[in-house]
Structure 1
Amino acid sequence: MRSLLPLTAITAATVLAACTTNPYTGDQQASKAATYGAGAAAVCGLVGAIDSGKHARNAALGCGIVGAGVGAYMDVQEAKLREELQGTGVQVVREGDNIRLIMPGNITFETDSYNLRGSFYPVLNSVGQVLAKYGDTTLRVSGHTDNTGSRQYNQSLSERRAASVADYLVTRQVARSRMLVQGMGFDQPIADNGTAAGRAQNRRVELYVLPNPA
C-alpha cells in the first residue's frame, strides 16, 4: 500500500502543474487535456505499483504519455502562438485539437501580389520558431482570395500566396514534408464579398496546425 503514496503525490503535482492562467479573466484553471493526462497516468501507474516487472513499468509510462498526449501538446503550442502573435493582426483560433492561424492579406502581401511584405517577416519568424520546436504536427497552408477577377486568376493567386508562406517557413527550419499547400481561390469566403470590408477579410492565408494521427 505504501508504494501507492508516491504515485498519488506525483499525480497531484501533475494536476497542479497543469494549471494555466485564463488570458481573459486572469483566473487559474486546469487544462482539460493535461488534467485528463494526469488521471490517465495515475490509473496506468497502478499497473506498475502492482507489478514491479519491467514490462509493467514500460506499459504504465506509455499509458501516461498517451493520456497527456494530443490535447496537452496542442495546448502548449496554442499558448506560445498567442504569446508570439499578440498585436500582430494574425488571429489564433482553437478548434478542438486543431489550431488555425488566420493571416489577413493586408498585412501579409502587397496588393495583388504574392510577394510577402517585409514587415511580415518578423511575424512569420515567430510562427516558424514555434512550429519548428513542436514538430509532431501536420501543417495545412491555404490561400484565399475575394471574388474580384476571374476564377482562374484568383485560383492561381491563392496557390502562389500559400506557397510563399510555406516557402518562407521552410527557411525557418519548418520541414516542407509536414505541409500541405493549397489554393482555394474565392470558394471559401468568411465574409460578404459584396462589401469592401468583407472582401478584405476574404483575402487571407490560413495555416492549420493539426496533430499527427496516432
Structure 2
Amino acid sequence: MEALSAQLAKQRESLSERIARALAPEAGAAPVGISTKDDRIYISFNSDEGFASGRADLMLMLARQLDRLATVLADTRGKVTVLGHTDDAPGPRDRMESNLALSTARATAVARHLQERGIASDRLSIIGRGVKDPVGDNRTAAGRALNRRVEIILESVPTSQPTSPQQ
C-alpha cells in the first residue's frame, strides 16, 4: 500500500510540474495558482482575465491557457472538476440572474472548451459555487478580484499499475 501511495505522490508531483510548465505566465497574464492537497491537484484561474464582467464567454487569454492544459490532461486519466466562483457584488440583471448562475455558466464554458480539446465528457463535472468559498475579503477590491476565479480540480489516478516485487 505504501508503494502505491508513493507512486501516486510521485505521479501527482510530475503532473503538477507538467501543468506548471504548460501554464507558465505569458507576457501580461496573471499567474495561475497550482497546488496539491488530499491527492488532488488544484488549478486556479483569475476570472477577470478569462471573462468579461458579468459574462461567461471565454476571453482569448484563458482559452489559450486551457488549450495548453488540455494538451497535458489528454495524457492523464481521472476526473476533472471545474468550479466557478464569484465575488458577492450583484451583477447586471440583464446578463445573469445571479452570481450562482454566472459561476455555473463560467464553469460550463471552461468544461466545454476542455471537451472540445479532447477531454472526454465523462471525466468532466461542473460546479457553480457563486459567492461560497471566498478566498479574499469581499469588502475590498483586491479581495473581490481573488474571489472571481475558476478552479479545476484533478483527481489523482495512477497512470499505470504498480509492479509488485517478485518473491
> Which bracket does the TM-score occupy, shorter chain normalised?
0.7 to 0.9
| Alignment: residue pair count | 151
> Per the alignment, do residues 67 and 187 of structure 1 end up closer, same or farther by CA in structure 2, a change over 3 Å counting?
closer
Q: Which residue number corresponds to residue 196 of structure 1? A: 141
Q: Which residue number corresponds to residue 107 of structure 1? A: 49
Q: Which residue number corresponds to residue 64 of structure 2? A: 122
2 CA distance for matches of 1:195 and 1:78? 31
Does 2:19 match 1:81? yes
1 CA distance for matches of 2:102 and 2:24? 28
Q: Which residue number corresponds to residue 56 of structure 1? A: none
Does 2:130 match 1:182? no
1 CA distance for matches of 2:6 and 2:32? 28
Query: Which is helix-richer, 1 or 2?
Result: 1
> Per the alignment, do residues 203 and 67 of structure 1 end up closer, same or farther by CA in structure 2, a change over 3 Å counting?
closer
Does 2:35 match 1:90? no
Does 2:87 match 1:146? yes
1 CA distance for matches of 2:119 and 2:58? 17
| Matched position secondary structure for 1:113 | coil
Letter in 2 for 1:187: K
Q: How far off its partner does 1:110 sit?
A: 1.3
1 CA distance for matches of 2:38 and 2:14? 14
What TM-score does the superposition give when structure 2 sets the normalisation length? 0.82
| Matched position secondary structure for 2:134 | coil
Larger Rg: 1
Q: How far off its partner does 1:119 sit?
A: 2.5
Runs of 4 or more consecutive aligned structure 1 residues displaced over 2 Å after TM superposition: 66-69
Structure 1, residues 35-86: CA drift from partner, whole Å, max 9, x if none?
Answer: x97xx4xxxxxxxxxxxxxxxxxxxxxxxxx465321221221010011112
Does 2:104 match 1:162? no
Task: Give 5+ residue unaligned stretches, structure 1.
Answer: 1-35, 41-65
Does 2:74 match 1:132? yes
**CA RMSD between the two structures:** 2.3
Check the 8 A contact 2:136/2:147 in 1, yes or no: yes
